[in-house]
A and B are shown apart, each in its own frame.
Chain A
Amino acid sequence: MAVTIIYSTSQKYPLYQMGNPQLRIFRPPFFLTLVRPGKEQPPDVVQFRIPMVMTKFDVRNYVEKIYNVPVGAVRTRIQYGTNKKRNHLNQKVKRPDYKVAYVQLAQQQTFEFPDIFPKKDVKSAEGSVEEMQEKFMEDEEQRQKPDPRRGGVTEWFGL
């Protein structure tokens, strides 16, 4: 078979023996997740979670060909997911294992994981329910505030 058809990550690869042509996978079923590093990493290192079946060479080819990002070095490790936690039936629940790849970019490029959830001031639409609710909450807060003329002194004492 000239074309390698790998439909899922659970499928076995064809056997390789010396002299065989280079294995090519069309429509790779592998998905990478870019993660924020838990420990401080050098500025040119990007951290990925990759499927267990991928190797360093696979990651390098994937990132270079699909994302056109120059890759210098790739290091991988397998993170063991704990089997210690127990559920409400006292059964052990396994957290799945996953493979982590540290990709070092070439050509002195750097990458910093951005902040994807910045605080945005949300203004509700005019005349909507949310706007009325917000207005009501603001009025309530205003009512609960102590008298500013007392200059910060509590109202616990009389007068």
Chain B
Amino acid sequence: MAATSAGRVLTLCRQFQNACRISTTLSAQQSTVTLTKGRSYPHRLPSTLLSSSWSCNLDLAVQCRPLHTTISRRGLEEFFDIPENWGEATVKSGAPWTAKQLRTKSNEDLHKLWYVLLKEKNMLLTIEQESKRQGQQMPSPERLKKIDRSIRRLDTVVKERENALRLLQTGQERARPGDWRKDVFGRIYWYRFREHALPWYMNRRYKRKRFYTPAFVAPHLRLRLEKYLRAKTRKQKKESENQAVLKEKFPQMQAKSQ
């Protein structure tokens, strides 16, 4: 029913196109919503993974704004699979997005794809929980892994782009500022800054943290250093003894250059 009403509206739009052009700049979210509303059921599955039919649908949506008089109930139906797949043992799904494929997409496309993957994951989580509740097997649980991988790769690609932009514009290597600091045990580590509402000298909890090594820790440091040196010499000695034994067995062998 939703498909036919949308179809009628779109044909009406096409007829009225020449008479009155309603060209609107749709926001990213609205366009995904109209895409999912306008698309009929059989085309749903291939569109979520590895689809290239967005752009042609988007052109249609840009040229004529669909008018809906009834509230689209497809909102909450998107938490479930299409009714043809209810009760099936397996549901066919494509391969996950690879980072290489995602790098070819524009930022807008990636932004829209994020929401598509988000909705798909919500749907799969709903099905999983319901299957646990009913004591049934979830159809094709590998879809969850595929979606997870796609989302992670999308994140990686977006992070890469943001890193590159930041390096070019400001020269900063990290997004979150930090510093090399010494902890109470004398170890030097990368401390990542946090946002505070007060300056550090008024922050009591921060002052208790101690980014220096007290004097009484010196003996422990010395013992730790001795342990480390002992382990290192032991390893080197073992290695040289091993080499000597091998040299005796195989005289033509070339000694490993370290």
Which A residues fall within an 8 A CB radius of B? Answer: 5, 7, 12, 14-15, 17, 26-28, 31-36, 46, 49, 63, 65-70, 107, 109, 111, 114-120, 122
Which residues from chain A contact B33 at a C-beta distance below 8 Å? 68
Give the residue of B71, B134, B158, B162 whose beta carbon is less than 8 angstroms from that of A117.
Answer: B134
Given that A36-B133, A46-B76 are known contacts, is A26 also in contact with B29, CB under 8 Å in the complex?
Answer: no
12 cross-chain CB contacts under 8 A: A7-B155, A27-B111, A32-B122, A35-B133, A36-B130, A46-B76, A65-B29, A109-B73, A114-B80, A116-B86, A117-B131, A120-B87
Chain A contacts for B126, CB-based, 8 A: 33-35
Residue pair A49, B129 in contact (C-beta under 8 Å): yes
Complex Cα distance A69/B76, Å? Answer: 7
Is B195 at the interface (CB under 8 A from chain A)?
yes
Give chain A residues whose Cβ lies under 8 Å from the Cβ of B133. Answer: 35-36
Q: By the criterion CB–CB under 8 Å, are A31 and B129 in contact?
A: no
A31-B122, A69-B75 given; name 10 further pairs at CB < 8 Å.
Answer: A27-B114, A49-B129, A66-B29, A67-B75, A114-B80, A115-B86, A116-B87, A117-B131, A117-B134, A120-B88
B121 on interface, CB distance cutoff 8 Å: yes
Interchain CA distance A117-B129 in the complex, whole Å: 12
- Tell me, yes or no, whether B15 is within 8 Å of chain A by CB: no
Closest to A122 in B: B89
Q: Which residues of A contact B87 (CB under 8 A)?
A: 116-120
A66 to B75, CA, bound (A): 9
Chain B residues with Cβ under 8 A from A36's Cβ?
Answer: 130, 133
Identify whether the interface residues of B are mostly helix, strand, loop, or mixed.
Answer: helix
B159 within 8 A of A: yes
Say which residue of A17, A114, A117 sits within 8 Å of B197 (CB atoms). A17
A65 CB contacts on chain B under 8 angstroms: 29
* Interface flag for B101 (CB, 8 Å): no
Task: List B contacts of A115 (CB < 8 A).
Answer: 86
Annotate B111-134 by CB proximity to A: 1 below 8 A, 0 otherwise. Answer: 100110011011001111111011
Q: How far is the CA of A111 from the CA of B119 in the complex (A)?
A: 18
CB-CB < 8 A to A118: which residues of B? 86-87
Residues of A contacting B122 with CB < 8 Å? 31-34
Binary flags per residue of B134-175, CB closer than 8 Å to A gives 1, else 0 = 101000000000000000000100110010000000000001
Collect the chain B residues with CB atoms within 8 Å of residue A122's CB: 89
With A33-B122, A46-B76, A116-B130 in contact, do A66 and B115 touch (Cβ < 8 Å)?
A: yes
How near does chain B come to A43, taking the closest CB pair, in angstroms? 13
- Residues from chain B with Cβ under 8 Å of A66 in the complex: 29, 115, 118-119
Question: Are A14 and B80 in touch, CB under 8 angstroms?
Answer: no
Would you give the shortest CB distance from A153 to chain B, in whole angstroms?
A: 39
**Residue in B71, B79, B81, B158 whose beta carbon sits within 8 Å of that of A70 in the complex:** B71
User: Nearest 3 CB-CB pairs, A to B?
Assistant: A69-B75, A33-B125, A34-B79
Write out the residue numbers on chain A whose beta carbons fall within 8 Å of the beta carbon of B162. Answer: 5
> Is B222 located at the chain interface by the 8 A CB criterion?
no
With A27-B114, A66-B115 already in contact, the answer to whether A116 and B127 are too (CB < 8 A) is yes
- Residues in B with CB closer than 8 Å to A5 are 162, 175
**Interface: B196 (CB within 8 A):** yes
B72 beta carbon closer than 8 Å to chain A: yes
Q: Least Cβ distance of B152 to chain A in Å? A: 10
A15–B118 Cα distance when bound, in Å, is: 26
A116 touching B80, Cβ below 8 Å: yes
Contact B75 A68, beta carbon cutoff 8 Å? yes
Q: Which residue of B lies closest to A33 (CB)?
A: B125
Report chain B residues within 8 Å CB of A109. Answer: 71, 73
Asked if A35 and B129 sit within 8 Å, CB to CB, the answer is yes
Does B78 interact with chain A (Cβ within 8 Å)?
A: yes
